Amino acid sequence: MQPLGCGPASASVGVGMRIPGPPTMVQISPGVWVVEDYDYPVYFSDGFYWYVAGGAWYRSPYWDHEFERYPRERVPVHLTSLSHEQFRHYQGPPNAERIRPGRGEQPGSLREARRGGR
Protein backbone atom coordinates (compact mmCIF):
# COMPACT_ATOMS: atom_id res chain seq x y z
CA MET A 1 0.00 0.00 0.00
CA GLN A 2 1.24 3.48 -0.82
CA PRO A 3 1.85 5.97 2.02
CA LEU A 4 -0.81 8.56 2.68
CA GLY A 5 -0.95 11.20 -0.05
CA CYS A 6 1.50 9.52 -2.42
CA GLY A 7 0.90 8.22 -5.90
CA PRO A 8 -0.40 9.59 -9.15
CA ALA A 9 -3.77 10.74 -7.81
CA SER A 10 -5.37 11.23 -4.42
CA ALA A 11 -8.47 12.85 -2.97
CA SER A 12 -8.88 15.08 0.07
CA VAL A 13 -11.34 13.78 2.61
CA GLY A 14 -12.27 15.92 5.57
CA VAL A 15 -9.24 17.07 7.49
CA GLY A 16 -6.20 16.23 5.37
CA MET A 17 -6.89 12.51 4.75
CA ARG A 18 -5.95 11.24 1.28
CA ILE A 19 -6.98 8.16 -0.67
CA PRO A 20 -4.14 6.73 -2.76
CA GLY A 21 -5.61 6.20 -6.17
CA PRO A 22 -7.01 4.50 -7.90
CA PRO A 23 -8.20 2.43 -4.93
CA THR A 24 -9.07 -1.25 -5.04
CA MET A 25 -12.68 -1.65 -3.91
CA VAL A 26 -13.96 -4.87 -2.30
CA GLN A 27 -17.66 -5.69 -2.30
CA ILE A 28 -18.81 -6.29 1.30
CA SER A 29 -22.52 -6.71 0.57
CA PRO A 30 -24.77 -6.17 -2.46
CA GLY A 31 -24.25 -2.57 -3.58
CA VAL A 32 -21.72 -1.74 -0.83
CA TRP A 33 -17.96 -1.57 -1.45
CA VAL A 34 -15.02 -0.58 0.77
CA VAL A 35 -11.48 0.55 -0.11
CA GLU A 36 -9.24 -2.47 0.42
CA ASP A 37 -6.39 -2.35 2.96
CA TYR A 38 -6.72 1.33 3.82
CA ASP A 39 -6.17 3.09 7.15
CA TYR A 40 -9.81 4.23 7.31
CA PRO A 41 -13.05 2.68 6.08
CA VAL A 42 -14.09 4.46 2.88
CA TYR A 43 -17.25 3.02 1.35
CA PHE A 44 -19.00 3.24 -1.99
CA SER A 45 -22.80 2.89 -2.00
CA ASP A 46 -25.82 4.57 -3.55
CA GLY A 47 -23.70 6.41 -6.14
CA PHE A 48 -21.29 8.01 -3.64
CA TYR A 49 -18.05 7.38 -1.79
CA TRP A 50 -18.57 7.77 1.98
CA TYR A 51 -16.23 8.40 4.91
CA VAL A 52 -16.94 8.92 8.61
CA ALA A 53 -14.60 10.75 11.00
CA GLY A 54 -15.38 11.76 14.56
CA GLY A 55 -19.07 11.07 14.00
CA ALA A 56 -19.21 13.39 10.95
CA TRP A 57 -20.00 11.89 7.53
CA TYR A 58 -18.52 13.00 4.22
CA ARG A 59 -19.45 11.99 0.67
CA SER A 60 -18.29 12.47 -2.90
CA PRO A 61 -19.45 11.06 -6.23
CA TYR A 62 -15.81 10.17 -7.08
CA TRP A 63 -12.85 8.83 -5.14
CA ASP A 64 -10.56 11.53 -6.56
CA HIS A 65 -12.55 14.64 -5.61
CA GLU A 66 -13.00 16.57 -2.37
CA PHE A 67 -15.50 15.01 -0.01
CA GLU A 68 -18.15 17.29 1.46
CA ARG A 69 -19.70 17.01 4.91
CA TYR A 70 -23.12 15.34 4.79
CA PRO A 71 -25.88 15.24 7.45
CA ARG A 72 -25.72 11.95 9.38
CA GLU A 73 -29.51 11.58 9.34
CA ARG A 74 -29.40 11.46 5.51
CA VAL A 75 -26.62 8.85 5.26
CA PRO A 76 -28.01 5.44 4.23
CA VAL A 77 -28.74 3.33 7.32
CA HIS A 78 -26.93 0.35 5.79
CA LEU A 79 -23.73 2.43 6.13
CA THR A 80 -24.30 4.03 9.54
CA SER A 81 -25.09 0.61 11.03
CA LEU A 82 -21.77 -0.96 9.93
CA SER A 83 -19.03 -1.74 12.42
CA HIS A 84 -16.55 0.69 10.86
CA GLU A 85 -13.53 -0.53 12.81
CA GLN A 86 -13.78 -3.93 11.11
CA PHE A 87 -13.23 -2.25 7.71
CA ARG A 88 -9.90 -0.59 8.57
CA HIS A 89 -7.24 -2.42 6.52
CA TYR A 90 -9.99 -4.70 5.26
CA GLN A 91 -8.77 -7.55 3.07
CA GLY A 92 -11.97 -9.40 2.23
CA PRO A 93 -12.16 -13.09 1.43
CA PRO A 94 -10.18 -14.36 -1.59
CA ASN A 95 -13.37 -14.87 -3.62
CA ALA A 96 -14.78 -11.36 -2.93
CA GLU A 97 -15.42 -9.20 -5.98
CA ARG A 98 -12.79 -6.49 -6.45
CA ILE A 99 -12.83 -3.52 -8.78
CA ARG A 100 -10.28 -0.76 -9.32
CA PRO A 101 -12.15 2.32 -10.60
CA GLY A 102 -10.27 4.85 -12.71
CA ARG A 103 -10.73 8.58 -12.48
CA GLY A 104 -14.44 9.42 -12.69
CA GLU A 105 -15.54 5.77 -12.50
CA GLN A 106 -17.72 4.10 -9.90
CA PRO A 107 -17.74 0.41 -8.87
CA GLY A 108 -21.34 -0.19 -9.96
CA SER A 109 -20.78 1.12 -13.50
CA LEU A 110 -17.58 -0.93 -13.90
CA ARG A 111 -19.34 -4.06 -12.72
CA GLU A 112 -22.13 -3.61 -15.29
CA ALA A 113 -19.62 -2.92 -18.06
CA ARG A 114 -17.76 -6.15 -17.22
CA ARG A 115 -21.02 -8.08 -17.53
CA GLY A 116 -21.93 -6.42 -20.83
CA GLY A 117 -24.62 -4.21 -19.28
CA ARG A 118 -23.42 -1.08 -21.12
pLDDT in tens, 58-106: 998 888 777 899 999 999 999 999 999 999 999 999 999 998 887 767 7
Q: For the whole model, what pTM was predicted?
A: 0.77
12-21: pLDDT as tens digits: 445 446 677 7
Band (110; pLDDT cuts 50, 70, 90): low
H-helix or E-strand spanning residue 109? helix 107-114
The predicted structure's pLDDT at residue 69: 92
Could you state, in order of their start, the residue ranges of all structural domains in the chain? 9-99
CA 63 – CA 10 distance, rounded (Å):
8
Closest CA to 95 of 22, 21, 28, 24: 28
Higher pLDDT, 4 or 115: 115
